[in-house]
Amino acid sequence: MAHKTILEGTNPRLRSTSRPVRKINQHILDVLDDMGQTMYEERGVGLAAPQIGVFRRIVVLDVGDGIMELINPVIVSQEGQQREKEGCLSFGDERGYVLRPEKIVVRALDRNGQEKEYVGTGLLARVLAHEIDHLDGVLFVDKVVEWVEDEPADEAE
């Protein structure tokens, strides 16, 4: 495993659309390991592969229940709305309120190639939506409805 440098928010590469993973080979497993290590060392709750310069549809996250690894995640359904503070590992201490679905259902492959369905509410719904946005080059700053001033960082995606 290796710690990877996280691309900063102003980097135009973060606007790229990431490609699906066709085959879960050793390279993809290494990417997953690097992403997990980098997320934990940066004290984030989520990380998308393009944030470390790998433009594949892979995200990792941990909202307190252990690591979740999602390959080719697809949003199956979403409902409701939440308005919460959000940050991003690519944007340092910047924080702002973003509207996200209150509940989201996502289908993805795990590292063994098994298809799994994840139902997220609250924080998990928010992080899933945030990370999947990264795969399409969408950043949370695009969606901020109100910026937060002078408040210490608590979590970042």
Please state, in angstroms and rounded to a whole number, the distance separating the CA atoms of residues 89 and 29: 22
Whose tokens are 């719904």? That residue is 125
Contact 17, 131 (CB under 8 A): no
Give me the 116-145 binding string for Zn ion, x by CB under 5 A, dash otherwise: ------------------------------
- Phi/psi at 26 (5° precision): -60, -35
Does residue number 157 form part of the binding site for Zn ion (CB under 5 A)? yes
Question: For residue 20, which amino acid is it?
Answer: P
Q: Least separation, in Å, of the C-beta of 134 and Zn ion?
A: 6
- Region near Zn ion per CB under 5 A, out of 8-16, 19-27, 36-44, 87-95: 87-95
Does residue number 70 form part of the binding site for Zn ion (CB under 5 A)? no
Q: Least separation, in Å, of the C-beta of 14 and Zn ion?
A: 9
Dig out the tokens for 15 from the structure: 């606007």
- Region near Zn ion per CB under 5 A, out of 34-42, 71-79, 84-92, 101-109: 84-92
- Region near Zn ion per CB under 5 A, out of 32-40, 81-89, 99-107, 117-125: 81-89
Dig out the tokens for 156 from the structure: 């970042």
| Nearer residue to Zn ion within complex by CB, 63 or 88 | 88
Among 88, 109, 123, 125, binds Zn ion (CB under 5 A): 88
**DSSP letter at 45?**
S
Does residue number 86 form part of the binding site for Zn ion (CB under 5 A)? no
Residue 133 makes CB contacts below 8 A (sequence gap 6+) with 139, 140, 143
Which position among 69, 86, 131, 157 bears the catalytic label? 131
Please state, in angstroms and rounded to a whole number, the distance separating the CA atoms of residues 9 and 16: 12
Q: Active site includes 41?
A: no
Residue 45's nearest CA partner among 147, 126, 110 is 126
Give the residue numbers marked as catalytic: 131
Tell me which residues touch Zn ion (CB under 5 A).
88, 157
